[in-house]
Structure 1
């Protein structure tokens, strides 16, 4: 009988109670015992919700206090030596690795494949002793069975992907480390099977990336060992985010089942099954309900695909699934009372996606050719939404009359800009935002509710701007920012002001740790309405003689950090956003703001997982940035910022953006990014973030001096800027001021050392 399965559920809770519990613990307001109690309540409530939804295979082990990759590292004792002194306190070690502490700098953080979720990068060191410190997956399985009577489906990050996502070893050591991890996974799987787990899901999303034949050979050998060691266990190999290229080799592995993504595979997974078949002794997990976007599923199309698969795979071996974990979508539509009915009827968050799974499962289990009333109502809403005016009459944007080239080359602009701005050697600045304090958040909430009038709200914002302009003067920064106190989020803010966007009330998703964001919804054509950033930036500039940067979010990041319409291409949507930003940048220049930062932290994260698809994406992504920025005056200086990504494979595209200054993260990667510039010449302005803003730890002056000196070994000193690695909105005021004071002192020291050489 055809059954349903979920791959994972959002951790944060409908009211972000998960986030609040964590932050209360970090602030010392609750004890570890209370934190554990709160987390258990949240965890069990999520399981109960899935049980009530009628899901057959409910995931356990997907819940985390921070990040599932970090959980896996902790389970196997992959703990950097700098945290070893804290190992007697497991939770303190866990959070120290994630956030940094006096014990040491936080582990590196980067994007989870091509999503906006960040994971903590495991660090393998020579001192690592292979061990299972605690089978936390087994603990989660037993809890679900004991507390709720759920025979859950344990979810484990697979060994191949875990190691691929890790660092601290040479490529030639991959096989050796995989061999050391294998018996640890065997132990985990055996203990789960002995406890009664009927299906054990191993997530291996690395299988959808561009792999070598050697990679596949190692993967095959790994899973042959796992299944041979525990032959009675039912291992379910799960992939997501794209298609599996080495289909015939993967499908022949001796596992119980294989889960494939049929939403983001461009039709390839179905094509492979049609051409190469599917084994008659395996379960096929059919990922039909989109785990990454929020549009209501067209269930009739899902039924058609399932009917097609039933002609190739017997129905008792089909498992209807989400395409990936629902971690990437908000929890529930229940509180979205301000969205128009027309738009809301076209949306499905996590809870609604569970309903969609059940509707599909119930239909096929009924054996009837007729559709239930709930199914018909759902489908009617989908069809009405697709006929909405904002989904029709889309004209493709052309480049006719649109500038994509600056008037002068960088070499010619550089001298003009140096003369205009007259900045010191190693200029200092910040990335954009300053702390979003409680009083400002409360004021914004009151203003949104109509409890605070526009004049009073604007006055409070101006007071904050005045305060932080004064702080920047005292700290001694060279280029200022206004602080972004009027902004809730760097993408949502623009979503509130551009046509074609809608914003939700409670559509939160986890970005990293307790940091949650509320992506806007791009449902229609994007157009400029009125200036969005000019008033606050121009006011800040009246308060100082130092340059104040205009702060914008770039077109690619707005796209990648939004829930994007699925009826036209991402390329087309991004061009629309870029053209809207042209008008905003012109408004800034007209107001006298001629140093403008157009942030693109998500440019790299949108890179397709398949190598053959990447150049096309990079081409239109770079083009969109240039559309937004090419029209400015030669003396206007365009900055951009990127963070927490691997840049070595897109360095040419970064250069092609033709920004005058780019700032990128190097603090958590321990300066490894600097090595890229040993073999790649980059002659434009560049700021390598000298300290980690995601950690409460105040950076040491000498540590930052070392980062600067190391960078200047491979970069020209005349092009180097000094800045934090990201915006400062998540830090406290005291932390921010202390860190910036140290950064400026480190810069002065570096200037003296370099001048003395």
Structure 2
């Protein structure tokens, strides 16, 4: 990419209120059948335009066609029972009613490929598509078949790779794997989690990214953050493994967090999507606040490798707030571009 500091979101953006009730995760659809299909496509168009109006350089689908960043993908797989659910603790933080793995995992058909083709037709800009990472998928259901988190993760990596290859063929430029679980289960990441992710990106020639944050701005995540002390050093445990991996881009949380910026030194050489927008508050950042975060990151990331981004997804935020935050992200990046030009 020629443009310095290309901006993007992590993934999810608020949905229009005619499609799903606002400001909640797992929000139920208001439409069904063909109307739902048409509604999702209209929401993709709207989301694209809102990102373009905000000045973003890399466009995502805003996750308009899925209810949740993990479970929507799992719904398309065989071997998972969504009717007889069990309650589990997700990332050791909050309880959720989740589907159960009852048989061998297989991908019956493409999940997001038609959506990606639709979005590709609407724009010539770079497109990024997010998929759930294998370890986070394992952490978002109950396994009654493989009886091994690692075995199940390898199965998920296989089906994710199938999907990723088809997304690449549909014209997606960057495929991102969302792995918030990497910030919690360090031993597993280093024992097998990173190897499993390498399996998910096998054979891809588009750019690949891993997104690791401290979660949506929901109460369980915000409460957890309060227990982490004055310095959040979780990334220190996993960055050395990621730095040696074949992943091209690392997406992480920076703005309003207690992550020491010098940890970015551990992934020197990788492209870095620096989270310069806080998704856990309705306060809209000023362009100067965004620029200040980017300046700090530039001490440890080469300018050509810095991609300004949001901390996490924005689905639970009010739509006008999310759009204003995206505009602030673009304006903050522009401040730094102008400084560099001088």
TM-score between both structures, scaled by the size of structure 1: 0.40
Q: Does 1:618 align with 2:183?
A: no
Q: Per-residue displacement from partner, 1:650-701 (whole Å, max 9, x unpaired)?
A: 211222332111110112324x3312134x3520100120121121111122
Q: Partner of 1:673 in structure 2? A: 260
Q: Per-residue displacement from partner, 1:688-722 (whole Å, max 9, x unpaired)?
A: 20121121111122111111001101211111010
Q: Partner of 2:211 in structure 1? A: 641
Q: Does 1:529 align with 2:108?
A: yes
Q: Does 1:729 align with 2:308?
A: no
Any conservation in 1 of the 2:86–2:142 contact (CA below 8 Å)?
A: no
Q: Partner of 2:286 in structure 1? A: 700
- Where 2:211 maps in the other structure, the secondary structure is strand
Q: What is the aligned counterpart of 1:750 among 324, 336, 339? A: 336
Deviation at 1:573, TM superposition (A): 0.7
Deviation at 1:476, TM superposition (A): 1.1
Compared CA separation, residues 526 and 474, structure 1 to 2 (3 A): same
Give the whole-Å Cα distance in 2 for the aligned partners of 1:625 and 1:681: 17
Q: Does 1:482 align with 2:61?
A: yes
Q: Partner of 1:630 in structure 2? A: 202
Q: Does 1:601 align with 2:180?
A: yes
Give the gaps of 5 or more residues in structure 2: 22-26, 215-231
Deviation at 1:501, TM superposition (A): 1.5
Deviation at 1:583, TM superposition (A): 1.0
- Where 2:18 maps in the other structure, the secondary structure is helix
Give the whole-Å Cα distance in 1 for the aligned partners of 2:6 and 2:39: 30
- Where 2:175 maps in the other structure, the secondary structure is strand
Deviation at 1:481, TM superposition (A): 0.6
Give the whole-Å Cα distance in 2 for the aligned partners of 1:460 and 1:499: 26
Q: Does 1:720 align with 2:306?
A: yes
Q: Per-residue displacement from partner, 1:507-547 (whole Å, max 9, x unpaired)?
A: 677879xx985533223221111100111122111111101
Q: Does 1:658 align with 2:246?
A: yes
Any conservation in 1 of the 2:275–2:308 contact (CA below 8 Å)?
A: yes
Q: Which has the higher contact order (CA 8 A, sep 6+)?
A: 2
4+ long deviations beyond 6 Å:
505-512
Q: Pairwise mapping of residues 57-206 of structure 1 onto structure 2 (< 5 A)?
A: none
Any conservation in 2 of the 1:495–1:502 contact (CA below 8 Å)?
A: no
Any conservation in 1 of the 2:101–2:145 contact (CA below 8 Å)?
A: no
Any conservation in 1 of the 2:211–2:251 contact (CA below 8 Å)?
A: yes
Give the whole-Å Cα distance in 2 for the aligned partners of 1:506 and 1:630: 32
**Higher Cα Rg, which structure:** 1
Q: Considering only aligned residues, what root-mean-square deviation do their CA atoms show, in Å? A: 2.4
Give the whole-Å Cα distance in 1 for the aligned partners of 2:51 and 2:128: 13
Give the whole-Å Cα distance in 1 for the aligned partners of 2:83 and 2:65: 18
Give the whole-Å Cα distance in 1 for the aligned partners of 2:173 and 2:276: 25
Q: Partner of 1:181 in structure 2? A: none
Give the gaps of 5 or more residues in structure 1: 1-421, 608-613
Any conservation in 1 of the 2:134–2:156 contact (CA below 8 Å)?
A: yes
- Where 1:740 maps in the other structure, the secondary structure is helix
- Where 1:663 maps in the other structure, the secondary structure is strand
Q: Pairwise mapping of residues 37-436 of structure 1 onto structure 2 (< 5 A)?
A: 422-436=1-15
Compared CA separation, residues 480 and 517, structure 1 to 2 (3 A): farther
Any conservation in 2 of the 1:701–1:746 contact (CA below 8 Å)?
A: yes
- Where 2:163 maps in the other structure, the secondary structure is helix
Give the whole-Å Cα distance in 2 for the aligned partners of 1:526 and 1:446: 30
Q: Pairwise mapping of residues 480-629 of structure 1 onto structure 2 (< 5 A)?
A: 480-504=59-83, 518-565=97-144, 568-607=147-186, 614=187, 617-629=189-201
Compared CA separation, residues 675 and 504, structure 1 to 2 (3 A): farther
Compared CA separation, residues 507 and 461, structure 1 to 2 (3 A): farther
Give the whole-Å Cα distance in 2 for the aligned partners of 1:694 and 1:504: 32
Deviation at 1:505, TM superposition (A): 8.2
TM-score between both structures, scaled by the size of structure 2: 0.86
